Structures are given as C-alpha cells and as structure tokens.
Structure 1
Amino acid sequence: MRDCIDQQETPSTLRLLPSVIRLRQVFEQHYECGQAGVRWRDGPAVNNEDRMVSPYDEQARSVRKRELVCLGYKVHLTETCDQDPQKPHLIVQVHTVAATVADSVVVEPILQDQRDREMAPSILLVDQGYTSATSLL
C-alpha cells in the first residue's frame, strides 16, 4: 500500500484523505520497512499518549495496568450508595477519558460534575487506584 500511494501517478487527493493519513501513521508506528521487507516493530515507535491504536478512531490509545492491556478509552462509572439499602444502586454518571489518563486525575472532575448537579455524595468510596495526595486533601 505504502509504495502504491507514493507513486507519482496516484492522485494527490488520495494521499490527503484523513483515513489514508491515519492508516499510514498507524503503519509507521507499528512496522518497520527495511531491506528484508516489512517487519513488526519490537515496540511502538512512539509513547502510548502519541500512539494511535486504530485507524478508525484517532483518539483511541493504549495503556497497560499490570497484565491487563486496554485499547481505546477508560470509562469511570459513579454509582449511588448513600441511599436506602433496600433500593437498588443506580449508575448516575459515566465519565470517559483516554486510556492513558491516570485514574487519580478523574476524581476531581467527577466530583465537580456531581456538585454542579447537586448530587455530591456525603461519602466518596473509590478504588485505591483513584487515590492521590491531592484527592485525599
């Protein structure tokens, strides 16, 4: 594909299509071209914040947490818990961020959104990955 798209007889408008530009970027980040041909890189050519993982979604990123690898986005769900224990807990907020955003960074925006909607909990329970010195203060 790369050689064909770079041919002089290929219309320049084709080279400038956003999907072709993204596909080329993904290819260059994950493959190397050498005398022996094309081969998979040992690791991506750029860091996770800059590395595109899909030619279909240029904002999707990759992150590794222990043995778990996530491609795309992280979704943070907020559930009610300071209500009558006989009633079901409800998901009241969905917060989506790039996969490379640390969990501890999203606590304040989530809380601020809940304050703005007058839904801030009396007690906030979070997983250890969401804690930081700033959020504890």
Structure 2
Amino acid sequence: MEGNEMQEVKIGKRVFVGNLAWRTSWQDLKDKFRECGNVVYANVMRDDDDRSKGWGIVEFETPDELVVRGIPWSYTWKELKDMFAEVAGVERADVVYGDDGRSRGYGTVRFSSPEEAQAALQAFNGRDCEGRALFVFFDKYA
C-alpha cells in the first residue's frame, strides 16, 4: 500500500469445516453449526462416487461468526469466550467436539458486529495459546 491508501477487507459468511467423519451429512453439519448462529447453507463435499471428501462449507446469515483453530485441547466454550472478550464483544463461543467427546481443537466465536470480529482476528491470529498457535479466520470464499 502506498501513502494513505486503505485496503478493503471483505468479511465473509462462509466457513470451511475439515476433518469431518465420513458419515457426516449436510444436515448433521447444519444442525451442529446452528449452535453457533443462523445457518443458511451447509454442504459436505462428495466425490464422483458420492463418497464424502471429509470436508464441507457452512454459511451463516451474518459475517459475525469467526473460526478459531489451534485452541488448547482443555478449553471449553467458557475459556474461548473469555479469551476473545478481552478485545471484542463476544455473543457466543463454541468448541467443536468429536464423537468421542474430546475437543477437536477448534471452535467458533460470534461477535456483536463485523468490526469487533475483525479486531479479534487481528489481535489473536498467530498468537501463542498454551503452546499452540491460534489460526483465526473468516472464510475468504464467501
């Protein structure tokens, strides 16, 4: 950027969800992520033989959702919410758990506004948290 040029930041409403169990359906995905916000679209990608590729896309009604990877395995929604509340207005935080009841190491955080979500992304992306690097993002394909 030169001088006082401002870079436009596009905040999306879609998130990538990886490491899905092979049997996960689009409805399972949608139902789980409804805990985080109003889901308007969910899809599990499939190959030519109609087998799951193990990943999918979830689209929320608003861009206020934020995906956080690399959270400590011991964190619950409460620790995740408290951590992000340091810099932004957090409405809700959720940690994703596997069928075995163990944390998958990622979750979602919903903010009061897109501006607060952007501030949290800038403050936490790449930060070390109990020996794990946080990866905080909005889906760039929204």
Say which one has the larger Rg.
1
Between Structure 1 and Structure 2, which shows a larger proportion of helix residues? 1
Q: Same fold (TM over 0.5)?
A: no
TM-score category of the 2 structures, normalised to the smaller one: under 0.3
- TM-score, with length taken from structure 2: 0.23
Structure with greater strand share of residues: 2
